Structure 1
Amino acid sequence: MNEPGTVFRESSAEPRTESVPFSHLSLELGHLYMEDFAEGAARLRRHFAAVRPWAEAARAGLGRLPKGRRPRISTCFLVDDYFSRLSTPAELIPPLLEAAAEAGLTIDYLARESGCAVADPDRRDRVELAEAVLDRLVESPPPGSNGFRPPAVRTGWLANGRRTPFQRTSAALDSTGVWQPPSETEARGHSVFLDVELWNGPEDARTWSCAFLASVWQLVRLGLLRDNGAAVLTPTRWQGEEFPAEWDALPPVLQLNPAATPFTAYGTCSVLPSRFLPVEHAVRVILDQVHVAAEALEQVAERSAVEGFTVPAGVVDRTSYVFPPGL
């Protein structure tokens, strides 16, 4: 006879969280729009020439590892094939790789931004990555909030504090009709309030914002996303054939360097043009309010502890950026 409170579950009801390999650092060598590529090879050469010293600084900034450990640093590059497709992989990728090599840089992994929205869209079991991250948003309620505003999963807007109160009555009827400023939660002295748009368009045909897709990109690089326990956007080894004429014929993440260390890493560093600074501020606001599966976090903690490599507890603290002047 079963003891009171005993619960039996099928092992298949709780999918195992798949392990992923980890580098110490995922170093992003750039994220360009199609319009940048349209400027030609000279634009690409200027980009990588400007990136190289900062990429070297990011490598050096990893610091010393425990005795006997060698740094594992993989490089990646994100191509925007989500918001526009002015060129094809066959036309775009070869000059991109040539410009990087000319600057003494190797792109280990090439990723498509559309894969951060929907991974493997042609498969019957396609993974709606952006939707999955949206479902994991846990908004941080600011002090004094009354829950009047609908949640971000309905409005498509996520803030890092308290918005200006919405006046529901006319000034003549509202005895408290005094304007109040927005305020950042846990501000240090003065607020830097930010309200981030996550998507626009109808619910059944959303266009995800650059900031939201960049948040998915960071979580993927950190090895913290799963689909029913399975790893997502795992790299596909490139076999050296000609690049296809259609972006959808290319895997979401392509491993170009067979000798590369793992794509996923304990921490990330992105070397980006300064125009991305407000976008990445928004990314940090989003990452601060994403609930990451405990099992994925535990894997990182256990693996890094075995290596004697310190990983910050907060997900957002595992990301870093460089915005070189003139990039």
Structure 2
Amino acid sequence: MMDTTFREVSSDPRTTQLPLSHLSLELGHLYMDDFAAGPGRLREQFARVKPWADAARAAATRTGGRRPRISTCFLIDDYFTRFSSPAEVLPQVLAEAAECGLVIDYLARESACAEVGAVRPARLAEARLVQSPPLGSNGSRPPATEVGWLSNGERSPSDQPGEAMQAAAGWQPPREIEARRHSVFLDVELWDEHEGRRTWSCPFLAAVWQLLRLGLLRDQGQEVLAPVPREETFPASWDSLPPLVRLNPAADPFAAYRTCSVLASRFLPIEHAVRVILAQWSPEESVLRQIAERAEREGLTMPDDVTDRINYVFHAPS
């Protein structure tokens, strides 16, 4: 007897293969205050990034005997503040980077981590959050997707009175779930809402940014953020600029097996929050398996933990 199973094509989406570099090297972020400080601020930042970027390139040599594929990227904040225009900002950024011996392959708008056309990358990432329950948790704490807060442990108990005739529990410290003797507890705000409009937090968008660079975030198996070749001139408005622009036609792929971000030390608290978020994020098994198989064919070993694929260099201000 022949056993036949009928399945709708839409119920089994195909996981698209993405081209991958060995390393995605981030050369920094640009916010309004950086731009307002003038070209000298940009030049100073790129000068500080250059030696660390060179060191990251030199370290990316374990590629199975092949030439290391390394792409560089740069992120501009057009989500929390809109300043100037691409036509004015981007030529300055590229000129100052080149002056310091750096080539930016890809330029991304931070708003792309929240919305790319009809796709909502932040919502896709939020849907795969799996909170780590603290020891002894009774499920009374609302999920992060309801309250917009995610921690790496157990919060201090509320000071509100308990049931009648029940003795006050007294103050208790927060506890990190996987503390090494002493806790480093962190409670991260993922988003807030005002008049029905949600605004994603900087740490959550930064976590989405890492997932996009690692090629781990998909929309029904499909690519979320596809690079668009740059045009001869940059547009006058940020909305007219593609979410991800390939500035260098000869660039290696945007997504990579691993990432490294060279950032000013002021970003350290943000990236700590990113790691708390991604430690409680569940990748799609088909995507993980696909990347692991490709890495194996290249003679590479991929860590199972997503956070172990992410590296940083933090440099101090002048």
- TM-score normalised by the shorter chain: which range applies? over 0.9
How many Å separate the matches in 2 of 1:280 and 1:216? 12
Instruction: Mark the runs of 5 or more structure 1 residues left unpaired by the alignment.
Output: 121-125
Cα displacement (A) at 1:203: 7.8
Question: How do residues 174-323 of structure 1 correspond to structure 2 at under 5 angstroms?
Answer: 174-202=166-194, 204-239=196-231, 241-323=232-314
Question: How do residues 3-82 of structure 1 correspond to structure 2 at under 5 angstroms?
Answer: 7-67=5-65, 69-82=66-79
> Paired residues, what number?
318
SS at match of 1:201: strand
CA RMSD of aligned residues (A): 1.6
* Amino acid aligned to 2:286: E
Q: Please say if residues 109 and 255 of structure 1, whose CA atoms lie closer than 8 Å, have aligned partners that are also in contact.
A: yes
How many Å separate the matches in 1 of 2:256 and 2:124? 21
How many Å separate the matches in 2 of 1:294 and 1:305? 16
How many Å separate the matches in 2 of 1:84 and 1:202? 17
List per-residue Cα deviations over 1:17-71 (Å, max 9, x = no partner): 111011000000001211111111111100100100000111112233323x010
Instruction: Identify the residue that residue 92 of structure 2 maps to in structure 1.
Output: 95
* Amino acid aligned to 1:97: L
Structure 1 position 104 matched with structure 2 position 101 = yes
SS at match of 2:315: coil
List per-residue Cα deviations over 1:49-104 (Å, max 9, x = no partner): 0100000111112233323x010000000000000012100010001000000000
2:134 aligned to 122, 139, 142, which one?
142
Cα displacement (A) at 1:185: 0.6
Q: Please say if residues 118 and 130 of structure 1, whose CA atoms lie closer than 8 Å, have aligned partners that are also in contact.
A: yes
* Amino acid aligned to 1:83: F
Q: Which of 90-99 and 317-326 deviates more?
A: 317-326
How many Å separate the matches in 1 of 2:315 and 2:264? 7
* Amino acid aligned to 2:190: L
SS at match of 1:272: strand
Cα displacement (A) at 1:2: 6.5
* Amino acid aligned to 2:113: C
How many Å separate the matches in 1 of 2:145 and 2:255? 27
List per-residue Cα deviations over 1:143-183 (Å, max 9, x = no partner): 11111111000000000011112245259843252211000
Cα displacement (A) at 1:288: 0.7
Cα displacement (A) at 1:292: 1.0
SS at match of 1:64: coil
Instruction: Identify the residue that residue 123 of structure 1 maps to in structure 2.
Output: none
TM-score, length-normalised on structure 2?
0.96
* Amino acid aligned to 2:279: D
Q: Please say if residues 23 and 261 of structure 1, whose CA atoms lie closer than 8 Å, have aligned partners that are also in contact.
A: yes
Instruction: Show structure 1 runs of 4+ deviating over 6 A.
Output: none
How many Å separate the matches in 2 of 1:112 and 1:26? 16
Q: Please say if residues 171 and 177 of structure 1, whose CA atoms lie closer than 8 Å, have aligned partners that are also in contact.
A: no
* Amino acid aligned to 2:72: T
Q: Which of 293-302 and 197-206 deviates more?
A: 197-206
How many Å separate the matches in 2 of 1:151 and 1:203? 21
Q: Please say if residues 161 and 168 of structure 2, whose CA atoms lie closer than 8 Å, have aligned partners that are also in contact.
A: no
SS at match of 2:67: coil
